[in-house]
Structure 1
């Protein structure tokens, strides 16, 4: 039953069709009070049908239901009063709720005016006590509006929380990837140091041994012993490094590069509540993967820190320009730019975020500047050189 409920929540057309069917069934309970059962059933079907589209096409469904209701009231006043006064007309209250929750207040206000006009027409045509009828019905409409506002605010809050959790998960994954990359870099440096040092020593000793082999056999023997010892030590270090590299690790999740990657980051932050303006100039999809990844990381780290540390209501702007030999990225925000707030922008006061960006940019041969501007904004500016198409060098 729970699985069916979750599935039904993702199928609004089917769920609303079932709702319309239930309301039609309740409406048939008053069939015995009608003088023309065929007319009663026909008008009931016409009234309930628009409800099936209330979330798929909320505006069309609501106004269609209102128009059908006016026709049913006029028909009922002429042929059968039971046709005009029926439980199915409670769908008007549901239509108002749907407009407030899914289409916005402005459209709901226009629809409320239409409901009031329909209510006055109904009171005149059916010759009811107008004040009592209007007050009761308006109370139902007001309750519907308040309920929609409350539930809409709750849904908006849930969406923002979900978006922020998504950002947090993305940030966590990114930090985990950076940690793995840093560890791999450390192992690579160790490996390079071990191999380079050992091979250099072995080459020097081998050359010395070859020269002293006939003139000074004892010296040549010592050189060979040093070669063997150095080789054994290097082999032990290599084995230790290989053991580390063979440790099971989760597969790397590389972000989307180029225009799509930057746009995905901006949309992710917008869903979390941070307004982001994105200006992209030049072709970004054919640049080298290393530069594209560096650009992605600078934008990601900058926007994440704006979201976490800038003042409420801050807005961010990302400008990426590709030139002939470099790609420049600037991330600015309207949050606090005071010097005291600077350290907290990266690494929760430790500065590791900024340091990581500087190291990444430096590896690519670029430059990075970060700090408050004179107008109170905070800016991160990075310039990443493009590899030479002939040599591949930066």
Structure 2
């Protein structure tokens, strides 16, 4: 439903707030000028002073000159104040009787204090106080000036007139001082409001920038996860499909295991993608399957070995995960880096590649070292330059605060990651996991997966002969 419109008086007030010159010109200045003219331009002549006997409209013009600068008091406060000061000085010199034009003085002092720099406000405070004293002197001259028989003027003030002059002078000084206080408070308030508005604008801009950065980071994270899941799973499925089509003609029983592995790999990849996308669509992430971690590397190695790539695993990822107590995000990043390194080996290293995954813990300072080496083509491997595997690994390492080295050598490709870790106090006395040999992976720790041991791999994980030994029939 549309919001109720504001009341009429609120709309009118907002209109004048956005156009203050209308109120200053047509309300304040015009009204005060008319009243000053009516009270300072009597029909009789000026009573005393240098223009004694001059017509009353002279006083009216001076009063108009004193009130007219109020029209620009917000836009040009300092020039308007000096113009009014000159008009008041002329009024004192000509000994013009007081009128409502004197009300313009404290209004102008307030305007300078509110819309001009603080130094100008203090200057015109002193000018206003001096003007109040001058007004008292001019009032005393008007009330007590007499012409002597010799043609000279004499000042003779009765006690009642003295009290009136003093009261008017004190009232004028207090009015000017109070107006300056109000103006200074208004100036400080306007400055605070402007500072708050500027901070709000900067915070809004910073919030938008952080939102864009968060969105970009989330897109990059999703892109890395999708790349790792899809690239690894597709590489395994392609390798299995190539080998399965080859052995289907010679050993149908083994071909059934190969095709079962293809289906299992595809379902696992689909489940991971659904879990990741489900987190994005639903806040209830507790129902989704947990993401892989460091302790799941043996299962990863077993899956890659079942795809026909003879992988060796050195170290116990489960024990290392217990000793280091890595956060879930760090464990996932380590898993993805190993997964991407093995995927690159399957795609680029060639059929003769023999990769080795090594995990160890170095003391003083405690550093988790993850290495993936292969004996494939290395620097001779071709690349179309369209992949993002190495850049994804570098980004993950940078987020974790780890050092990553990835280089192609003449005898294969080498990936090494060094991550500073904090050891669990109750486990600091235990040694690092001992190597299990250089052959097929056989983790010995309690966290090792049964699938990572060669003797535990079932028919679904049987090694598929690669085309390096025999050309498939065409």
Q: Compute the TM-score of the two structures, normalised by the length of structure 2.
A: 0.44
Q: Deviation string for 1:68-96 (max 9, x for gaps)? A: 22223444x3xxx4xx4111221111111
| Runs of 5+ consecutive residues of structure 2 not aligned to the other structure | 1-8, 45-54, 143-161, 283-397, 404-474
Structure 2 equivalent of residue 13 of structure 1? 21
Match of 1:66 among 80, 85, 90: 85
Name the SS of the counterpart of 2:128 in structure 1.
Answer: helix
Q: CA deviation at 1:67?
A: 0.7
Partner Cα separation in structure 2 for residue 236 and residue 34 of structure 1: 101
In 2 relative to 1, CA 67–213 (structure 1 residues): closer, same or farther, beyond 3 Å? same
Partner Cα separation in structure 2 for residue 138 and residue 197 of structure 1: 87
Q: Single out whichever of 97-106 and 39-48 deviates more from structure 2.
A: 39-48
Name the SS of the counterpart of 1:215 in structure 2.
Answer: coil
In 2 relative to 1, CA 360–113 (structure 1 residues): closer, same or farther, beyond 3 Å? farther
Q: Deviation string for 1:291-347 (max 9, x for gaps)? A: xxxxxxxxxxxxxxxxxxxxxxxxxxxxxxxxxxxxxxxxxxxxxxxxxxxxxxxxx
Match of 1:103 among 116, 130, 148: 116
Q: CA deviation at 1:195?
A: 0.6
8 Å CA contact 2:236, 2:265 repeated in 1: yes
Partner Cα separation in structure 1 for residue 34 and residue 189 of structure 2: 31
How many residues align? The count is 247
Q: CA deviation at 1:235?
A: 4.5
Structure number with the bigger relative contact order (C-alpha 8 A, sep ≥ 6) is 2
Partner Cα separation in structure 2 for residue 70 and residue 360 of structure 1: 77
Structure 1 equivalent of residue 392 of structure 2? none
Structure 2 equivalent of residue 140 of structure 1? 175
Structure 1 equivalent of residue 76 of structure 2? 57
8 Å CA contact 2:133, 2:169 repeated in 1: yes
- Superposition RMSD in Å: 3.6
Q: How does 1:328-367 map to 2 (within 5 A)?
A: 359=399
Q: Deviation string for 1:22-71 (max 9, x for gaps)? A: 32244355368453564455334322221111111111010011112222
Partner Cα separation in structure 2 for residue 48 and residue 125 of structure 1: 19
Q: Deviation string for 1:129-156 (max 9, x for gaps)? A: 5544432211111111222233333333
1:207 has 2:242 as partner: yes
Name the SS of the counterpart of 2:75 in structure 1.
Answer: coil
In 2 relative to 1, CA 64–362 (structure 1 residues): closer, same or farther, beyond 3 Å? farther
More helix by share: 1
Structure 2 equivalent of residue 27 of structure 1? 36
8 Å CA contact 1:34, 1:40 repeated in 2: no
8 Å CA contact 1:100, 1:145 repeated in 2: yes
Q: Deviation string for 1:145-181 (max 9, x for gaps)? A: 2222333333334344444444554554455445444
Name the SS of the counterpart of 2:248 in structure 1.
Answer: helix
Partner Cα separation in structure 1 for residue 401 and residue 73 of structure 2: 52
Structure 2 equivalent of residue 198 of structure 1? 233
Q: CA deviation at 1:100?
A: 1.9
| Runs of 5+ consecutive residues of structure 1 not aligned to the other structure | 248-357, 364-394
Name the SS of the counterpart of 2:91 in structure 1.
Answer: helix
Partner Cα separation in structure 1 for residue 109 and residue 37 of structure 2: 23
Q: How does 1:255-334 map to 2 (within 5 A)?
A: none
In 2 relative to 1, CA 74–190 (structure 1 residues): closer, same or farther, beyond 3 Å? same
8 Å CA contact 1:12, 1:56 repeated in 2: no
Q: Deviation string for 1:206-234 (max 9, x for gaps)? A: 22123313222333343234334433554
8 Å CA contact 2:33, 2:68 repeated in 1: no
Q: CA deviation at 1:97?
A: 1.5
Q: CA deviation at 1:245?
A: 6.9
Match of 1:115 among 122, 125, 128: 128
Q: Single out whichever of 154-163 and 10-19 deviates more from structure 2.
A: 154-163
1:227 has 2:228 as partner: no
Structure 2 equivalent of residue 304 of structure 1? none
Partner Cα separation in structure 1 for residue 272 and residue 400 of structure 2: 28
